Amino acid sequence: MTGPEPFPVEILHRPGAVLRMRPKTRGAFVTAQTQRVYAEAYGTGLLMDVLRPTGPANGAAIIDVVSSGWQCDRVVYNEHLGFGLCDALCARGFTVFAVLPGASYLFTGPEMVRHVHAAIRHVRAHAEELAIDPARLGLAGASAGGHLATLAALTPQAGRPDSRDAWRRSGTDIRAVAAFFPPSDLLNFWGVRIDRFQMEGLDIPGLLFKSGLTGRTDREIVARLEELSPARVAAQFHDHHPDTVPPPLLLFHGTADRVVPLEQSVRLRDAWREIGGHAELRVREGADHAWMDNGAELEQMAEWFANTLGA
For the stretch 91-134, pLDDT in tens is 999 999 999 999 999 999 999 999 999 999 999 999 999 999 99
Selection from 169, 121, 174, 180 nearest residue 145 by Cα: 180
CB-based contacts of 298: which residues, under 8 Å, 6+ apart?
A: 84, 85, 87, 88
Residue 27: what pLDDT? 82
Give domain status of residue 12, yes or no.
no
61, with CB counted inside 10 A (0-12, 13-18, 19+), is buried
Give domain status of residue 132, yes or no.
yes
Give domain status of residue 212, yes or no.
yes
Confidence of residue 187 (pLDDT cuts 50, 70, 90): very high
Confidence of residue 3 (pLDDT cuts 50, 70, 90): low
Give domain status of residue 11, yes or no.
no
166 three-state secondary structure: helix
Strand positions, DSSP E, 121-260:
137-142, 176-180, 249-254
Confidence of residue 20 (pLDDT cuts 50, 70, 90): low
What integer is the mean pLDDT of 150-172?
91
What integer is the mean pLDDT of 244-263?
96
Confidence of residue 15 (pLDDT cuts 50, 70, 90): low
Give domain status of residue 50, yes or no.
yes
Phi, psi (deg, nearest 5) at residue 111: -65, -40
How far apart, in Å, are the Cα atoms of 194 and each of 39, 47, 185, 222? 29, 28, 9, 10
Confidence of residue 11 (pLDDT cuts 50, 70, 90): confident
- Does the predicted TM-score (pTM) go above 0.85? yes
Could you give the number of structural domains in the chain? 1
Give residue 265's region: left, alpha or beta (phi > 0; psi -120 to 50): alpha
**Angle made by CA atoms 104, 108, 111, in degrees to the nearest 5:** 120
Residue 255: domain span? 26-308
Please state, as a whole number, how many other Cβ atoms lie within 10 Å of the Cβ of residue 295.
12
Confidence of residue 203 (pLDDT cuts 50, 70, 90): confident
Contact between 157 and 172 under an 8 Å Cβ cutoff? The reply is yes
Convert the pLDDT of each residue in 204-251 to its tens digit: 999 999 999 999 999 999 999 999 999 999 999 999 999 899 999 999
Convert the pLDDT of each residue in 25-80 to its tens digit: 888 889 999 999 999 999 999 999 999 999 999 999 999 999 999 999 888 999 99
Q: What is the CATH number of the domain that holds 118?
A: 3.40.50.1820
DSSP character at residue 68: B
Confidence of residue 1 (pLDDT cuts 50, 70, 90): very low
Give domain status of residue 239, yes or no.
yes
Convert the pLDDT of each residue in 277-301 to its tens digit: 999 999 999 999 988 899 999 999 9
Average pLDDT, the chain: 92
Contact between 29 and 52 under an 8 Å Cβ cutoff? The reply is yes
In order, the DSSP letters of 245-281 are -PPPEEEEEETT-SSS-HHHHHHHHHHHHHTT--EEE
Residue 157: what pLDDT? 93
Give domain status of residue 15, yes or no.
no
Give domain status of residue 3, yes or no.
no
Confidence of residue 139 (pLDDT cuts 50, 70, 90): very high
- Comparing 1-5, 164-168, 171-175, 255-259, the range with the smallest average pLDDT is 1-5
What is the rounded CA–CA span in Å between residue 132 and residue 228? 30
Between strands 137-142 and 249-254, the pairing is unpaired
